[in-house]
Chain A
Amino acid sequence: MSNARGSFMKRVRDAVALRASQDRAPLPEPNHEALRQQADAPDSMAIFKIRAESIGFNVHTVQQSNLSEHIIALLQRHDVRKVAVAPDLPGEDALRAAAGDELSFIDGPFKGDPLFAADAGITGVMAAVAETGSIICSSFPQLSLVPPVHIAIVRANQIVPDFVDIFTHPAGEKPPTQLTIITGPSKTSDIEGILITGVHGPGIVHVCVVEED
């Protein structure tokens, strides 16, 4: 143990010791039901879609068999020439096969500059939350961040009702190295309180909710 740590911790211990033991607050038992805002209802998906729209995502309901066509149409709508697709996205091959010649794919490992030239990034999600309409991305963080357009593919069974369902992991399970809860397009209201989207992250986010055929 380094000296700095030792003396730092000693100061904390001495300070905490000033609190009489009867004054010390107990740790409330985990009470997930008190925290829960969104009940585990069969319409989680419908609620997710409404909330996701209201925070500024463009939500699409897509059949699995149409997914590639739908994504290509979205890319065309935004005049996307260069796209980066997360390698762990199921159906990546199908997407490549369905793309025309005008679309070029930026290959991983997404280090350095090439990603900054991408017009759109396509990723899956780790989960989606009905409570706020958020999506949660953990792998390839730059794909949902650097290009101006982000397309996220959400499977129906990835939608959970409430944040409580995300954070109550079994003890000892390791959270991923990096995880981001994304709730709407990048935004600021720093200048005179006026809302502007697309500051550093994507200004346009499409969320495709995939229904099995």
Chain B
Amino acid sequence: MSRHAEKFERAVAEALGNPSLQEALLSTTSRKMSQRTEALAELRNADELCDLATQIKRHTLDHLDRYLEQFIEQVEARGGQVHFAHTPEEACELICRIARENECKLAVKSKSMATEEIELNAALQRIGVEVVETDLGEFIVQIDHDRPSHIVTPIIHKNRREIAEAMARELGVKYTEDPEELTGIARRHLRDIFRRCDLGITGVNFGVAETGTICICTNEGNGRLTLTRPRVHVALMGMEKLIPRLADLALFLKILARSSTGQPITVYTTLVTGVAKQPYAGTPEQLHIVILDGGRSDILGGAYHDILRCIRCGACLNACPVYRHIGGHAYNSVYSGPIGKVLTPLLNEHVVHADLPQASSLCGLCLEVCPVRIDIPELLVRLRCEQTRGRMTGFWHRTAFRMATVMLKSPGLYRMGQWMARIALSSGSRDGWVEHAPQPLQSMTDTRDLLAPARRSFRRIWEEGLRDE
């Protein structure tokens, strides 16, 4: 077993053995799922809207070169600057250069998965720029030296006691477990930061090609403060975030928050279009949009093309029976849950996390809840296939499947296999269930009981039935 696979198994075992994590995961994800269902039901034609959104995203990706050109042209025509990063390292370098050229010392950040992807905080800190996360969850993650475990609700894994301890320890405030007081402490602490900051960093939820507009969705208001206080604004945008027209935004805003948190729309949905000719109070003097490739152009046009439709709503995480048990940390990657299982190996050239696509029962819930209809189970099977061919899976794994292939192709061998299984399993069965199977099935019965083999196989019944007739 590879080191990564071992690490993954250990992390899974740890998560499953943590009762407070189990409770937090289950209650939060269940609540989000039911809120999501209700919010989508408020729409007159949710299915039609999701189909339309899917089609628009498909079209945009199929013509991404054209829409990128249009977007760039529009941003530049309105006084914004566009930068291009092929790799995460290049993106960090570009943003560090912008910080240095403008002598920025204190950066505020609004929650952004793309900046997590490129590990921007560490890069800025290396050149002496202090970076402060301003989303409440991300702020707590940052002061507690932790990692986010959900792409929308980053501290889904933490309870109030852990948060209270982190705040008291790191900020030197009085210990309190009251969520309202804890929020107040964070607000006051971050207000001072917002007053002094000189660089604002955000992600981008949607980029509109037609107008060069970027759309940023938040609930707390930190995103708006990040956009309005500092004199320099850097927005990091994955190249797949584009939509063609402003009118399409009306569609995507109707489904994003509904699918994500069950809100009709996020509290603050901000559209930034270029830089004001005479910057008035509350808009930055400079707007830099850094477009990130980071492995996306390798996915584009290939077998996993569809994964680029993702709008990062997080519904597949909340729905996934695996995520709901192991949480986000076990995946040990920026993107967790079903979307992470596909995206992470692809963005990292399968080098790490080759085990992630295996961690799925292929139950299909992620496809069912996806507002842009990404067939994640299908993509997972493709990844597994590729990894098996590329000998990225373990020897026993490959051997077992090779043996299964031989057996399933031959009726005689299949019959013999059935006969052997019946003998092997019958001795240990009780009331129709096998609690402890002998090797090589032993590990299967560690976590579940197996149904004991029927006394008469279906084949036998079929043959006898035919004879009776």
Contacts and interface: CB of A to CB of B under 8 A. Distances in A.
B244 A27 contact: yes
B266 A109 contact: no
B267 A190 contact: no
A19 B66 CA distance: 14
Interface residues of B, number: 96
Contact of A145 (B49, B228, B271): B228
Contact of A27 (B44, B56, B78): B56
Interface residues of A, number: 77
B83 interface: yes
Given A27-B56, A178-B283, A199-B183, A8 B291 contact: yes
Contacts of A175: 211, 213, 246, 271, 273
B465 interface: no
A28 B244 CA distance: 11
Nearest to B301: A18
Nearest to B161: A192
B28 interface: yes
A80 to B, nearest CB: 18
Contacts of A25: 55, 58-59, 62
A200 B134 CA distance: 9
B282 interface: yes
B266 to A, nearest CB: 7
A177 B59 CA distance: 27
B399 to A, nearest CB: 35
Interface stretch (A42-50, A70-78, A162-170): A162-170
B132 to A, nearest CB: 12
B283 A183 contact: no
Contacts of A37: 43-44, 254
A31 interface: yes
B65 A191 contact: no
A108 interface: yes
Contact of B59 (A26, A32, A145, A199): A26
A99 interface: no
Given A12-B239, A190-B137, A196 B58 contact: no
Contacts of B153: 189-190, 193
Contacts of A108: 281
Given A8-B291, A181-B268, A187 B283 contact: no
A61 interface: no
A4 B160 CA distance: 46
B286 to A, nearest CB: 13
B180 interface: yes
Given A34-B49, A190-B136, A141 B24 contact: no
Contact of A24 (B24, B59, B195, B219): B59
Interface of A: 2, 4-5, 7-9, 11-19, 23-28, 30-32, 34-35, 37, 55, 108-111, 113, 116, 131-132, 134, 139-142, 145-146, 162-164, 166-169, 174-194, 196, 198-202
5 contacts: A24-B59, A37-B254, A179-B270, A191-B179, A200-B221
